């Protein structure tokens, strides 16, 4: 009997189980009513009287050891099962490098977020447009230089189909389909037939804003611009407006911000002026309102537009516009911390 007990203990010490089902099978084998340990207890009555004390104590110790061993195997199997449930079998064996958001996307979303706080909503339109939405409705004369083939990509020989040269076409689409008040921001890609260099590209990105309502004034435009500049470039930023000309606004202006490198004192970046140009703006020309079916005697409004690449250059000092479209991982990884 003692030898049998020693054999069972050796078996228990060598047990292993890969799952909870295997543990349960071992429990039944050794600890159930018909198990090996119970069989020893049934044979106990055949043990001579002088050995009962020794054998009984050995059987009890074996039963306790078997219970502890089975419980230990059950806990081990449960932990393996929990770990397996967290295993992603679709994951690549090799580590996958995480990408980063493009700097133009980062700046685009920041601009949109600032104008959303002022109540502007995002509006989008097609990149392939017609002449009326891109030029005629915006007060471009038939002989305006922007209509020249050197500036515009025409899709077919029909000059009425072209790639939009500015996102102002989205504004005209909204004005012809929605009644004032209108308060929209129009981000998107635009195309112009220009030689590609460090300072120019045949496609780039714009964000334009439009606000039309009763009694909108130039003071509303200036305050909107000041809020945007300080939210984008910091509370210390000042702005100035210089008279300019755009066919679709009257009066029109160019907006400069104080150079944040020199604090407005003058440096090589701002060419010694202390100011950096960032966008164009103005009051919507009454002729544009009338062309879009809006009564210019009842409503007025302002519009502004900026290049996203221009704003990105000011924020991150990117000197070559071509870097934005070359998908160089080394360049894009520089903006990981900007998320």
Examine the pLDDT at 84 and tell me if it is beyond 60: no
Examine the pLDDT at 105 and tell me if it is beyond 60: yes
Buried b (16+ CB within 10 A) or exposed e, 208-247: bbbbbeeebeeebbbebbeebbbbbbeeebebebeeeebb
User: Higher model confidence: residue 60 or residue 210?
Assistant: 210
Residue 311: alpha-carbon gap to chain centroid = 18
pLDDT digits (tens, 9 = 90+) for 86-99: 666 777 777 777 76
In DSSP terms, which residues pair with 307 in a beta bridge?
Answer: 206
Mean pLDDT of 103-112: 94
Is 103-338 in CATH node 3.30.930.10?
yes
Q: Cα dihedral sign for 175, 179, 183, 187? A: negative
Burial of 128 (0-12, 13-18, 19+ CB in 10 A): exposed
Structural element, H or E, at residue 188: strand 182-191
Q: What 8-state DSSP symbol labels residue 336?
A: G
Examine the pLDDT at 20 and tell me if it is beyond 70: yes
pLDDT for position 69? 83
CA 8/CA 271 separation, integer angstroms: 92
Greatest CA separation found in the chain? 124
User: Higher model confidence: residue 60 or residue 241?
Assistant: 241
* Band (85; pLDDT cuts 50, 70, 90): low
């Amino acid at each position: 009997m003692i030898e049998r007990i020693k054999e069972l203990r050796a078996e228990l010490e060598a047990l292993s189980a890969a799952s909870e089902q295997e543990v349960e099978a071992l429990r039944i084998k050794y600890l159930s009513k018909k198990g090996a340990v119970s069989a020893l207890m049934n044979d106990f009555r055949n043990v001579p009287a002088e050995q009962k004390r020794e054998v009984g104590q050995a059987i009890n110790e074996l039963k306790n050891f078997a219970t502890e061993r089975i419980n230990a195997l059950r806990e081990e199997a449960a932990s393996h099962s929990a770990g397996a449930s967290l295993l992603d079998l679709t994951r690549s064996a090799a580590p996958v490098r995480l990408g980063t958001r493009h700097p133009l996307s980062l700046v685009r979303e920041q601009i949109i977020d600032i104008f959303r706080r002022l109540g502007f909503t995002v509006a989008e339109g097609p990149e392939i447009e017609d002449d009326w939405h891109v030029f005629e409705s915006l007060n471009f004369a038939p002989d305006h230089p922007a209509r020249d083939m050197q500036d515009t990509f025409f899709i077919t020989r029909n000059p009425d189909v072209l790639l939009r040269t500015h996102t102002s076409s989205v504004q005209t689409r909204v004005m012809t389909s929605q009644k004032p008040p209108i308060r929209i921001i129009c981000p998107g890609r635009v195309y112009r037939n220009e030689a590609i260099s460090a300072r120019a590209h045949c496609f780039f990105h714009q964000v334009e804003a439009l606000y039309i309502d009763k009694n909108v004034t130039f003071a509303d435009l200036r305050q909107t611009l000041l809020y945007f500049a300080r939210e984008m470039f910091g509370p210390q930023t000042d702005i100035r407006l210089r008279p300019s000309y755009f066919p679709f606004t009257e009066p029109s202006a160019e907006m400069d911000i104080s150079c944040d490198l020199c604090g407005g004192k003058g440096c090589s970046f701002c060419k010694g002026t202390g100011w950096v140009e960032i966008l164009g703006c103005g009051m919507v020309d009454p002729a544009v309102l009338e062309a879009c079916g809006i009564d210019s005697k009842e409503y007025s409004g302002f519009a502004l537009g900026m290049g996203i690449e221009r704003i990105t250059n000011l924020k991150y000092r990117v000197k070559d516009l071509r870097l934005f479209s070359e998908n160089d991982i080394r360049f894009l990884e520089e903006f990981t911390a900007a998320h």
